[in-house]
């Protein structure tokens, strides 16, 4: 724990290491109930990873998370934070070392944004200048302007802004572990996706160990490095990375819970840049037909793709375009859809189906053709080894 006169809070390059977390047959039974709320839960969360607890209502996921910071005491078993039992720590002291963000956000309405974020640092006796510097650092970290935000009150902010303040408050003392209980559950779908992306981008920078509770399997697949699927009675049904969970569900319960469309969900974990694209025969108006035909013979497609001087796609050429000595602009169809390297494969497949075509040119950040995506290539991606599929913050790209 930081002492009042310790050094200024570390910057991103000097952050304290994230914690490891281990559930060892952690059990919670309430008096008068025959069934356990959480039944001998055993799993390990590696340092710097997001573990998502997911399952139907009443499966014990929130109970399991709250046992970590002793908001709910463990009946049997143990939970270790960096190899030390949480039962050996006083609850108040333990909670100051664990960030906590919830769906309702829980900001104090009568306190300014700066004072909300400073709640725990004040409890720890940090000097005022250190607190102010940390507040401004965190506001910038969650993409809010300190000058415009610090003196405002929660009621003056949007729901998405308040949620970001809740995350900033949870990070105030740079905790090695964060608990997040349906943090985006009360946000509308559009802002929810944006906040998820912002948080994953933030996680890629701060690399905290996080236990994240949700009832939404799609959110679990997007956010988690590993997912713990719980069933009624707080029993662990499966604990695995998202791609493994979708490809190899362990039992009927998990299979039903992840859904019949788990193949499409798997495509949501991969981006176009992650797979081997077809080689396209790129030709320009006026170039030699013999050279154009040689490009077609050396490619994966029978149709030449007309591009401009910067390599941007214009359209698919017909056979008549190659009837003379020089390539003419006679197209069989437009170059649609145009897919970007950072597009999610599920979205790219949707574009292909919407345009009723089996393939589309893929462009890089400059708009130049980088290859061709086809339905056949996407089919091969479904067979990818789960170990080769990125997850959580590592699956996000800057352009999101």
Retrieve residue 112's tokens: 């300014």
- First vs last C-alpha separation in the chain: 36
Retrieve residue 268's tokens: 């949501």
Which single residue is written with the structure tokens 């145009």? 338
What are the pLDDT digits (tens) for 323-382? 999 999 999 999 999 999 988 898 999 999 999 999 999 999 899 999 999 999 998 888
Q: Lowest-pLDDT range, 166-175, 235-244, 274-283?
A: 166-175
C-alpha count within 13 angstroms, C-beta hemisphere, residue 150: 15
Non-local CB neighbours of 361 within 8 Å, separated by 6+ positions: 280, 305, 313, 335, 338, 339, 369, 371, 372, 373
Q: In the predicted model, is pLDDT for residue 6 greater than 70?
A: no
Q: Tell me the three state secondary structure of residue 364.
A: coil
Which of 270, 301, 324 represents a domain boundary (last residue)? 270
User: Could you tell me what percent of the chain has a pLDDT over 90?
Assistant: 57
The CATH number of whichever domain residue 326 belongs to comes to: 3.10.580.10
341 and 196 share a domain?
no
Helix (H), strand (E), coil (C) string for 98-141: EEEEECCCCCCCCCCHHHHHCHHHHHCCCCHHHHHHHHHHHHHH
- Please tell me the predicted confidence (pLDDT) of residue 104: 62
- Measured CA to CA, the distance from residue 375 to residue 384 in angstroms comes to 15
- Please tell me the predicted confidence (pLDDT) of residue 265: 87
What are the pLDDT digits (tens) for 97-152? 898 887 666 788 899 999 999 988 888 889 999 999 999 988 988 888 999 998 99
Pairing status of strand 331-334 against strand 313-317: antiparallel
Q: Lowest-pLDDT range, 78-82, 202-206, 300-304, 335-339?
A: 202-206
- Please tell me the predicted confidence (pLDDT) of residue 162: 84
Query: What mean pLDDT comes out for the span 283-304?
Result: 92
55 and 91 share a domain?
yes
24 and 117 share a domain?
yes
3-state helix, strand, coil in the chain (%, to 5): 35, 20, 40
Task: Write out the residue range of the structural domain in which residue 335 sits.
Answer: 273-381
Query: How many domains are contained in the chain?
Result: 2
- Measured CA to CA, the distance from residue 51 to residue 239 in angstroms comes to 9
> Does residue 313 contact residue 337 with C-beta atoms inside 8 Å?
no
Q: Lowest-pLDDT range, 159-163, 172-176, 288-292, 307-311?
A: 159-163
């Amino acid at each position: 724990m930081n002492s009042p006169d310790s050094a200024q809070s570390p910057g991103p390059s000097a952050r304290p290491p994230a914690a490891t977390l281990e559930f060892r047959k952690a059990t919670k039974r309430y008096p008068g109930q025959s069934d356990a709320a959480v039944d001998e839960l055993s799993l390990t969360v590696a340092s710097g990873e997001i573990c998502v607890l997911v399952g139907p209502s009443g499966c014990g996921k929130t109970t399991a998370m709250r046992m970590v910071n002793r908001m709910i005491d463990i009946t049997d078993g143990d939970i270790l934070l960096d190899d030390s039992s949480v039962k050996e720590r006083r609850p108040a002291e333990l909670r100051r070392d664990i960030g906590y963000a919830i769906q309702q956000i829980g900001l104090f309405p009568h306190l300014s944004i700066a004072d909300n974020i400073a709640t725990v640092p004040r409890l720890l006796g940090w000097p005022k200048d250190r607190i102010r510097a940390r507040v401004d650092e965190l506001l910038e970290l969650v993409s809010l302007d300190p000058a415009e935000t610090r003196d405002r009150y929660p009621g003056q902010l949007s729901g998405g802004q308040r949620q970001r303040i809740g995350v900033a408050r949870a990070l105030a003392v740079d905790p090695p572990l964060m608990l997040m209980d349906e943090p985006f559950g009360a946000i509308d779908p559009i802002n929810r996706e944006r906040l998820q992306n912002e948080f994953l981008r933030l996680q890629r920078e701060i690399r905290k160990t996080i236990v994240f509770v949700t009832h939404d399997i799609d959110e679990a697949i997007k956010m988690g490095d590993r997912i713990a699927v719980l069933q009624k009675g707080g029993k662990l049904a499966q604990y695995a990375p998202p791609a493994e969970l979708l490809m190899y569900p362990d039992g009927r319960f998990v299979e039903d819970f992840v859904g019949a469309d788990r193949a499409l969900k798997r495509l949501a974990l991969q981006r176009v840049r992650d797979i081997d694209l077809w080689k396209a025969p790129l030709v320009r108006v006026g170039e030699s037909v013999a050279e154009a035909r040689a490009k077609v013979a050396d490619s994966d497609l029978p149709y030449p793709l007309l591009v401009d001087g910067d390599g941007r796609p214009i359209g698919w050429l017909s056979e008549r375009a190659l009837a003379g000595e020089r390539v003419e602009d006679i197209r069989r169809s437009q170059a649609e859809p145009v897919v970007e390297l950072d597009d999610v494969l599920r979205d790219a497949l949707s574009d292909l189906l919407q345009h009723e075509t089996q393939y589309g040119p893929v462009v890089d950040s400059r708009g130049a053709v980088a290859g061709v995506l086809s339905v056949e290539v996407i089919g091969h991606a479904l067979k990818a080894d789960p170990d080769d599929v990125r997850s959580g913050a590592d699956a996000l790209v800057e352009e999101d």
